[in-house]
Amino acid sequence: MPANKSKTALLTGATSGIGLEIARGLHLAGWNLVLLSRNFKKLEQVKHQLPQPEKVQCIEVDLCSMNQTKKAALACPAEKLDLIIHNAGGAFGRHQPTDDGFERSLALNYLAPFLLTELLWPKLDKTQGCLIHLSSSAHYKGKIYWEDPNLNQSYFILKAYSQSKLMQLMHARHLATWPQAPACYAVHPGLVKTAIGNKHSLGYMGLIWTLFTNWRGISPKEGADNSLWLANSAAADRPPSGSYLHQRKVKPPLALAQNEEACTRLYHSTKSWLAPWLEKNETPI
C-alpha cells in the first residue's frame, strides 16, 4: 500500500469487526485517524494497540443520538479530511425508537452518517477525497417507506435493515451527481463473521445469523479489503463515483438506487427530517 502520511481519515465503528480491521489497515498505510465509537475505553485500547498512537484521535459518540452525532462532528479536530468511512451499523430485533423519535437502525445506519457528512462536508477534500458507506447486498430487498420511514406501523428487522442500507447507497449516488464532490461509494463487504446480526436480535434470528456466518462468512479482515483498496487507490484509479462495489468490482444496484429522481427525493426528505440538527448553530440543540 502507498503511504499517506499527510492524509486524514474519519472512521466510525472502529473498535471491532470490519471497522477495527479498516483502522489497522489505514494506520499501517500511514493515515492519520479520527476514530468514532460509543465506547471510549475501547477506542483508547485500539489507539494504543497501533504502532503510532500519536496519529490517532478518538471521539466518543452514540450515533443513535443526533445531538451526540452533531457534537462529534463539531469536535472533529482535523482541519481537512481526505476520507470518511461510515462503517458503524446495526440490526435490531424489535422496534426501538431513539430519544429523537427515529427507528434505531434508520438512525444508526443512515441518519447519523448523513448528518456527519453534511456537517463535515466543508472539511472533505473535493478533488482527491473519498467517502464510503459500508452498505450491504441486503439493499436488494430494500424499499423506501416514504410515508413511514420509521416503520411505526409495521416493523421487521430485515425490513428496517434493508431500507437503511438502500438509503446509504442512494445517498452515495446522489452525492456523486454534485459538480464538486469527493468520490462517493457504497460497498458491500460480504457476509462477514461479526456480531452485527445477533448483537441486538431476538431469539432465533440471532441464532440463525451466528450459524450462517460461521458456516459461510468471511473474516473481518477480508471484509475490510474493499474499503482499504478504495482508500489507498489514487483518485484516477478508482471506479466511477456513485458505484456500488463488492470484491473490488462494480455491481449494478437495485433499480431504485439508480433512479436519480428518487435519490434526490430521499436526500431532501432526509434534510427535512434532520432540520433541527442542520441549523447553523455552533452547539447541538
Q: What is the CATH number of the domain that holds 115?
A: 3.40.50.720
Coil, helix or strand at residue 21: helix
- Global pTM? 0.90
Short-list 51, 44, 58, 4, CA closest to 24:
51
Residue 198 lies in a domain: no
Short-list 100, 103, 97, CA closest to 276:
100
Residue 10 near residue 36, CB atoms below 8 Å: yes
Tens-digit pLDDT profile for residues 169-207? 999 999 999 999 999 999 999 776 555 444 544 544 555
Distance CA 176, CA 19 (A): 24
Q: Which residue has the cell 485517524?
A: 33
Sign of CA dihedral 118, 123, 128, 131: negative
Residue 117 lies in a domain: yes
Residue 47 lies in a domain: yes
Residue 213 lies in a domain: no
Q: How many domains is the chain partitioned into structurally?
A: 1
* pLDDT digit string (tens) for the chain, length 285 residues: 444 558 999 999 999 999 999 999 999 999 999 999 999 999 999 999 999 999 999 999 999 999 999 999 999 999 999 999 999 999 998 999 999 999 999 999 999 999 999 999 999 999 999 999 999 999 999 999 999 999 999 999 999 999 999 999 999 999 999 999 999 999 999 776 555 444 544 544 555 445 434 535 578 899 999 999 999 999 999 999 999 999 999 999 999 999 999 999 999 999 999 999 998 654 433
Is residue 141 left, alpha or beta, with left meaning phi > 0 and alpha meaning psi from -120 to 50? alpha
Boundaries of domain holding 12: 8-191+223-278
Short-list 124, 123, 2, 5, CA closest to 55:
5
- And the C-alpha cell for 166? 438502500
Q: Give the ranges where 217-274 is alpha helix by DSSP (H).
A: 220-223, 225-231, 260-273
Residue 208 lies in a domain: no
